[in-house]
Amino acid sequence: MIKVYGHGPAFGLPDPSAFVVKTLVLLQMAGEPYELVHADPRKGPKRKIPWIDDGGRLVPDSTFIRLHLEDTRGVDFDAGLSEAQKGAAWGIEKMFEDHVYWLVVVERWLDRANFEKGPRIFFEEVPAIVRPLVLGLVSRQVRRSLDGHGIGRHSPAERQLLAERAALAVAQCLGDKSWLMGEAPCGADATAYAMISSAICPLFEGPVRRAFEQHDNLVAYARRGTARWFPG
């Protein structure tokens, strides 16, 4: 059985990391049983989650996990798609991972109320005497990452505009279809479901959640994915 290293259920989600949730969905789509293991990201091959242990072979990063499944299990996550659809699906996936994801990070980590409700739980295992120091250190690292990416240099109004445009683009692409490219989920749906369900998580407030919740088809899409992959 493949072991998936992540956080475990939190915030009412299968995992607080959308990349872990993406991996869990891909494994289900591939028909592969798995075990979700709580892990310290610093101990991973790339010092981040997720990574998997497939019979002793460690594979980090959700995209490379997908490629590993395709190479070793003969899975085609985009079976039945046209070449144009495959290109569009990959582009949507990367828009989520390299753009929307960072908007969610801003909303959870830089908004004080959201941080207290959410990311602070990651520090509960840190000894109380050094916890303030660790919190300060990690907060500065997150801010540097956001600044380096560029999303942290935008004003709140600019980030809200970006969130609204991203949500609109996905809603327009989805339309009245059940899944991104038709009536059956493809590889990009693993990412889209994970990111949208994270963005509209009821625990958090902010412009990203509002941007995605204003599209009924995106809310229904997230509910459809939950019913399919995480009915419990």
Provide the CATH number for the domain around residue 25: 3.40.30.10
Residues 147 and 197 in one domain: yes
pLDDT at 167 over 90: yes
Q: How confident is the model at residue 69 (pLDDT cuts 50, 70, 90)?
A: very high
Parent domain of 178: 83-229
pLDDT in tens, 47-63: 999 999 999 999 999 99
* Same domain? 97 vs 57: no
**Are 100 and 64 in a shared domain?**
no
Domain match, 105 and 50 both: no
> Last residue of a domain, which of 10, 41, 73?
73
Q: Do residue 90 and residue 27 come from a single domain?
A: no
User: Is 20 found in the same domain as 63?
Assistant: yes
* Total domains in the fold of the chain: 2
Based on the fold, state whether residues 120 and 210 are members of the same structural domain.
Answer: yes
The CATH number of the domain where 112 resides is what?
A: 1.20.1050.10
Q: What is the per-residue pLDDT for 232?
A: 82
Q: In this structure, are 69 and 88 located in the same domain?
A: no
Alpha helices in 83-215 (DSSP H): 83-95, 101-109, 112-117, 131-149, 156-174, 187-199, 207-213
**Whether pLDDT at 124 is above 90:** no
* 117 within 8 A of 163, measured Cβ to Cβ: no
pLDDT at 81 over 90: yes
Tell which of 23, 48, 73 closes a domain.
73
Whether residue 177 sits in one domain with residue 64: no
What would the pLDDT profile of 206-218 be if each residue is shown by its tens digit?
999 999 999 999 9
Cβ partners under 8 Å of residue 65, min gap 6: 23, 26, 50, 51, 52, 59
pTM of the model: 0.96
- Do 88 and 174 belong together in one domain? yes
Sorted by sequence, the CB contacts under 8 Å of residue 192 that are 6+ apart come out as 92, 93, 96, 170, 180, 221
Residues 51, 26 share a domain = yes
Asked whether residue 13 is assigned to any structural domain, the reply reads yes
